[in-house]
Amino acid sequence: KAGVTQTPRYLIKTRGQQVTLSCSPISGHRSVSWYQQTPGQGLQFLFEYFSETQRNKGNFPGRFSGRQFSNSRSEMNVSTLELGDSALYLCASSLTSGSMHEQYFGPGTRLTVT
């Protein structure tokens, strides 16, 4: 069974640009959660999608948005990039609601903003 995949794995962008990250969950999983990981702030929850609906959102500005498609694949978008957005972005999939079941993490997308 294939694991969670994320594309691209590495990305370098310039301040002010926007970026879209993609996540394909494990087959059969309907929930996708996104996290930002930085050395200073640790692992922070961004949002969770289940059946194409955002179920919960973390404390991030509106520049961070996401969506989920009918095949459960999810995308995350960050507009007007700032230097502080440099981080490892992880997505995780689970069968149903993200907190009720074990989450399986993808390899991450390392975003560098210059």
Partner 1 sequence: ELKVEQNPLFLSMQEGKNYTIYCNYSTTSDRLYWYRQDPGKSLESLFVLLSNGAVKQEGRLMASLDTKARLSTLHITAAVHDLSATYFCAVGGTSGTYKYIFGTGTRLKVLA
The yes or no reply on residue 87 touching partner 1 (CB under 8 A) is: no
Secondary-structure percent of the chain, ordered helix, strand, coil, rounded to 5: 5, 55, 45
Size of the site for partner 1 (CB under 8 A): 23
Residue 7 vs 80, nearer CB to partner 1: 7
Report yes or no: 114 and 16 within 8 Å, Cβ to Cβ. no
Question: Contact between 103 and partner 1 (CB under 8 A)?
Answer: yes
Q: Which stretch binds partner 1 (CB under 8 A): 15-23, 47-55, 61-69, 72-80?
A: 47-55
CA distances 93 to 28, 40, 80, 84, 87, Å, are 10, 25, 27, 26, 20
Residue 55 touching partner 1 (CB under 8 A): yes
Among 66, 93, 108, 111, binds partner 1 (CB under 8 A): 108
- Evaluate the CA torsion angle 50, 110, 27, 68 in order and state its sign: positive
| DSSP annotation of 107 | -
Residues of this chain that bind partner 1 (CB under 8 A): 33, 35, 42-43, 45, 48, 50, 55-56, 58, 90, 92, 97-100, 102-108
